[in-house]
Chain A
Amino acid sequence: MSDTLTTQKGTKISSDKKPAPGKGRFAPGTEISGAQAVVEALVAEGVTDFFGYPGGAIMPIYDALYDYSEILNHVLVRHEQGGIHAAQGYARTSGEVGVVFATSGPGATNMVTGLADAQIDSTPLVCITGQVFASLLGTDAFQETDVINITTPITKWNYQVTDAAEIPAILAKAFYIARSGRPGPVLIDITKNAQTQKFQYPGYKPCTHIRSYRPKPIIRKEYITEAAALINAAERPFVLFGQGVILGKAEKEFKNFIEKGGLPAAWTVLGLSALPTDHPLNVGMLGMHGNYGPNVLTNECDVLIAVGMRFDDRVTGRLDKYAKQAKVVHLDIDPSEIDKNIKATVPVWGDCKETLPLLTAQLEKKEHTAWLQRFRDLGKEEEKVVIREELNPTGEVMSMGEVIKELNEVTGGDAIMVTDVGQHQMVTCRYAKFNISKSNVTSGGLGTMGFGLPAAIGAKYGAPGREVVAIIGDGGFQMTLQELGTIMQTGVNIKIVILNNNFLGMVRQWQQLFNDRRYSFVSITSPDFVALATAYGIKAKSISKRENLKDSLVEMIQHNGTYLLEIVVGKENNVFPMVPQGCGVAEIRLQ
């Protein structure tokens, strides 16, 4: 790949040769401004790419940034929501902290959705917002908003800086909190006077300890032993894995664990790609639109082993009908997740990077062939009733599933798949092939429509050497389509597939199934997507016939630059299987 990214001064940075985290420009003891200290902190933390949108209250920081264009790549987005979603995409594919800047007032409030999204999906972010002068706080000054109090419930930590001298230590703390333990978004609100104020720069010291903060609970050996004994004695063990495996960078440890125990493993939407799709023990997706086997057999397993997942209601369905027969082993870094939704028989607290090898060491090598076969048998049933028609439709119009199937052929499963929210998201998660971890970027917990396009831009900066394909519905695309401007300006190379069914498909599906086809405000018209993309200088094409599908996907992937492909799919196709709301997982419907 020969992608080049353009910085604001027009410098071309080869994206696969990003500048190494450089030393700052100022030696300790120098007199610098608070704004310069902010940018120095980014350099010291090894940040190379970040996102933002300037405004009055953050101007001093942007002024300082001007001198760093050679080593820091600031991506100018078109809306602060786009900025924070891009930072999320960056964090998810790079495994690093995503950084985003915004100004006070509307700049900050526009990031609220992204903060809530990052909080519920445990995405490490450092968000820096400008704020009015400290002397104006509480006076309803121009573009003043109480950002700290607005963002308190949706940040892991937040802090308002009013004195430049606080900046180095506070930013060090912000990065440490964002990335350690269970990651999450941190917001630092900096008043304008603190940005312009000069102070003696003490140098940047990374933060490694906060007395009131314990990122990881202590691992208790006796619980590891108890868990291993349970798993060893199990006849029908079943592993559920979530994003904890990816966030803990424990993919290898996880694979060793399930392979030694011969443990069938199913994933949550955010755990997707932690284990390659074609791994023999990968039995598929959990939850509302997950696979038949994992859902039905959740209520037949004897030991349920949850690794870095939080038993979201979309995974469990009705709690009082969820795995009542099973003993539960729950591995999580966040103690408050244990017993939150599902009572654990054995809680294994800690970073799964550390707990999984300890557990694996005590496992007996086993193969649960007959039990695994049960998953395959139910898989065959699902294949017959649902998958075959979805991937090879006999009707004239295309299905979302066949698009993903063809795309798998073209990418070979090596691409990063970014999705928005809705039917296309479920279909992509169900059918996309993944060989590599950190390849599925989606808004899981919050279900944020409009996430896809900006997150894909960020995902590309986070993994510049990899192909990034964004699958987005016609509804979600229209929520953040202004970010086409960001693509135009930066020349970032992503592939955008709009699956257009002229409906807000997921809501329409529910209205069809549960509201007697009363289609209330779900029919949505779209602009001419090809003309729209063309206006932004982006190559685009629209297809509605099956015979053009394969060639168009190949053309899209081979195009050197961003490409938008609109694919018109069946208007009233539904995503199945489905666990209707208020039902147990075993009541999953195939049609």
Chain B
Amino acid sequence: MKQEYTITVYTENHIGLLNRIAIMFSRRKINIESLNTSPSEVEGIHRFTIVIHEAEEVVKKLVRQIEKQVEVLKAYYNTNEEIVWQELALYKVSTDKVIEDVKVERLLRKYGARAVVIRKDYTVFETSGHREEINNLTEVLGRLGLIEFVRSARVAIINDSKGFHEKLREFEEEKPGEEIVENEFLGKQDEVFSL
């Protein structure tokens, strides 16, 4: 059964790696719904967060192929139930409208948005949330003179990631411990972060 999976990949920060990972999806004709790549907390290590809609069988194999790449440190996949995730959105609306229309203010409160820039001619609001929450606000603001809108890719924290920060640090060692070499898929499908 196809469903949404969030793939988390830790990699070296090298040129060409984005392509090497992206083509693994396109080779299998899998569409990437959302892709975020940014530095992790460890210098030189980047974290990819990739969202796809696929069957678990496919995702599992794909993640192993990703992890096999020389410059990939670790790759994981999770269902939406196993993660906490957010998308960030920015909205540019007419300042006059905001002042005129009480509804806008109420709306922004309801959606937890905050002003980032306030100018005479326009105001930029920011909010974060799930896809649907942002969609809802976008739809409403669209009717009230939305000038520009942008949203980020999904970023996600994995619920059961105990000790991961330490493990990531261990990669920098010349001779990492057994845990870091071991592949977590081996008979431990349930404990995502047992490595």
Contact = CB atoms under 8 A, between A and B. Distances in A.
Interface of A: 148-149, 152-153, 156-160, 177, 209-214, 217-218, 220, 223, 334-336, 339-340, 347, 349
Given A149-B19, A220-B186, A335-B185, A211 B68 contact: no
A355 B106 CA distance: 66
A152 B19 contact: yes
A336 B72 CA distance: 14
Interface stretch (B33-41, B138-146, B170-178): B170-178
Contacts of A217: 181-183, 186
13 contacts: A149-B19, A153-B23, A157-B71, A211-B172, A211-B176, A212-B11, A212-B171, A217-B182, A218-B181, A335-B64, A335-B183, A336-B61, A347-B187
Nearest to B23: A153
Q: Which of A159, A210, A211, A223 has the most CB of B within 10 A?
A: A211
A177 B64 CA distance: 18
B73 interface: yes
B102 interface: no
Contact of A210 (B60, B65, B70, B182): B70
Contacts of A157: 70-71
Contacts of A210: 70
Q: Which of A157, A212, A214, A340 has the most CB of B within 10 A?
A: A212
Contacts of A334: 68
A149 to B, nearest CB: 6
Interface string B146-168: 00000000000000000000000
Contacts of A335: 64, 67-68, 183, 185-186
Contacts of A220: 186
A378 B16 CA distance: 52
A160 B65 CA distance: 23
Q: Which of A159, A210, A334, A336 has the most CB of B within 10 A?
A: A336
Interface string B15-45: 1100110010001000000000000000000
A261 B67 CA distance: 35
Contact of B186 (A158, A209, A211, A347): A347
Nearest to A208: B174
B12 interface: yes
Contacts, number: 66
Contacts of A211: 12, 73, 171-173, 176
A381 to B, nearest CB: 38
A384 B183 CA distance: 49
A212 B15 CA distance: 15
Nearest to A334: B68
Contact of A336 (B19, B23, B68, B175): B68
B65 A336 contact: yes
A539 B111 CA distance: 85
Chain B residues touching A, range: 20 to 34
Contacts of B171: 211-212
A160 B176 CA distance: 28
Nearest to B73: A212
A336 B67 contact: yes
A213 B12 CA distance: 10
Interface string B41-68: 0000000000000000000110011011
Contacts of A336: 61, 64-65, 67-68
A148 B68 contact: no
Nearest to A209: B174
Contacts of A349: 183, 186
Given A217-B181, A335-B185, A349-B183, A149 B70 contact: no
Contacts of B172: 211
A66 B185 CA distance: 51
Contacts of A214: 181
Nearest to A156: B70
Contacts of B16: 148-149, 152, 158-160
A350 to B, nearest CB: 11
Contacts of A209: 174-175
B20 A213 contact: no
B166 to A, nearest CB: 15
A156 B72 CA distance: 12
Contacts of B176: 211
Contacts of A218: 178, 181-182
Q: Which of B67, B68, B72 has the most CB of A within 10 A?
A: B68
B164 to A, nearest CB: 16
Contacts of B27: 153
A184 B139 CA distance: 51
Contacts of B19: 149, 152
A160 B67 CA distance: 22
A340 B61 CA distance: 6
Query: Which 8 A-B pairs give the minimum distances between C-beta atoms?
Result: A336-B64, A157-B70, A212-B73, A213-B70, A336-B68, A211-B171, A335-B183, A218-B181
A156 B65 CA distance: 11
A158 B19 CA distance: 12
Nearest to A186: B70
Nearest to B26: A153
B62 to A, nearest CB: 9
B36 to A, nearest CB: 20
A158 B20 CA distance: 10
A212 B174 contact: no
Contacts of B187: 223, 347
A211 B182 CA distance: 14
A212 to B, nearest CB: 5
A467 to B, nearest CB: 37
A347 B187 CA distance: 9
